[in-house]
């Protein structure tokens, strides 16, 4: 079952994020930081977020993004800067190796494409025990339907180009096509995918 994400889901969603993105930068910032991020998406008027529930009614997958996404991350941080700051500090104390990447994210925040006709899909994850059973596709469909409802004409997302064939295959199966390739300052080669909405 798919339903809109609620602020009370955000601890569970953070746990699903950590399980589905092991070793990724945001996961290294910890449950508290992730829960704040997803709560911020739920509360933002621009935010678009859904959860997938397992047979027992617990969140086992999620999708999160925003309509008119330019400036979205900066807005989230501005609105809740103290809590984000404390959560980031806790992550630094736990794992000092995150510092260079964290500083880079603050100095060079990722710039989303502009425009009220654009929506960005920032994060999609299904718990490993539920993968391959259609939850990811249903979450993407719910996200695209809501983006249409908000007046978007196109949706973009980014994902790693290398060593990530399953995810790239998944997005192609969902109808996305690569619009641009680029490299992050850390040298990660990325695909930027787009889909035109009806
Ligand atoms: C990517 C992810 C969200 C997909 O969710 P999922 O529930 O496992 O995917 P689904 O079961 O809904 O699969 C949907 C379609 O993609 C296809 N697909 C899945 N894996 C694939 C692969 N390796 N290659 C090609 N197609 C693939 C499925 O066959 C299915 O197509 P069909 O319905 O026509 O048969 C999930 O695997 C995940 O959370 N991965 C880790 C986190 C991540 O990398 N997220 C995305 C990064 S932005």
**Does the pLDDT of residue 185 top 90, yes or no?**
no
Contact 38, 5 (CB under 8 A): yes
Say how many Å lie between the CA of residue 135 and the centre of ligand 1: 8
pLDDT, tens digit, for every residue of 123-165? 999 999 999 999 999 999 999 999 999 999 999 999 999 999 9
Q: Rounded distance, CA 12 to CA 19, Å?
A: 11
List all residues whose CB is within 6 A of at least one atom of ligand 1: 20-21, 124-126, 131-137, 159, 166-167, 169-170, 173
Asked if the model's pLDDT at residue 77 lies above 90, the reply is no
Residue 104: which pLDDT band, with cuts at 50, 70 and 90? confident
Residue nearest ligand 1's atom 14 by CA:
137
* Domain 2-196 part of CATH 1.10.10.10: no
Q: Where are the domains of the chain?
A: 2-196
DSSP string, 173-193: HTT-EEEEEEE-TT--EEEEE
Q: Which residue CA neighbors atom 33 of ligand 1 most closely?
A: 134
Name the closest-CA residue to atom 31, ligand 1: 173
Strands laid side by side in the 59-67 sheet: 2-4, 47-53, 59-67, 118-126, 154-160, 189-196, 177-183
d(CA 158, CA 191): 6
Higher pLDDT, 32 or 109: 32
């Amino acid at each position: 079952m798919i339903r809109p994400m609620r602020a009370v889901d955000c601890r569970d969603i953070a746990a699903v994020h950590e399980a589905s993105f092991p070793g990724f930068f945001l996961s290294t910032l910890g449950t508290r930081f992730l829960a704040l991020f997803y709560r911020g998406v739920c509360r933002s008027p621009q935010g678009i977020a859904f959860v997938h529930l397992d047979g027992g009614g617990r969140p086992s997958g999620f999708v999160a993004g925003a309509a008119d996404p330019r400036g979205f991350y900066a807005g989230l941080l501005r609105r809740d800067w103290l809590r984000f700051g404390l959560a980031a500090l806790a992550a630094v104390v736990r794992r000092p190796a995150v510092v260079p990447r964290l500083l880079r994210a603050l100095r060079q925040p990722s710039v989303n494409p502009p425009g009220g006709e654009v929506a960005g899909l920032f994060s999609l994850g299904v718990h490993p025990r539920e993968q391959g059973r259609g939850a990811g596709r249903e979450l993407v469909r719910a996200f695209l339907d809501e983006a249409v409802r908000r007046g978007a004409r196109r949706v973009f997302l980014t994902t790693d180009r290398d060593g990530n064939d399953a995810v790239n295959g998944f997005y192609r199966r969902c109808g996305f096509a690569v619009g641009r390739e680029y490299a992050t300052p850390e040298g990660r080669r990325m695909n930027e995918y787009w889909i035109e909405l009806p």
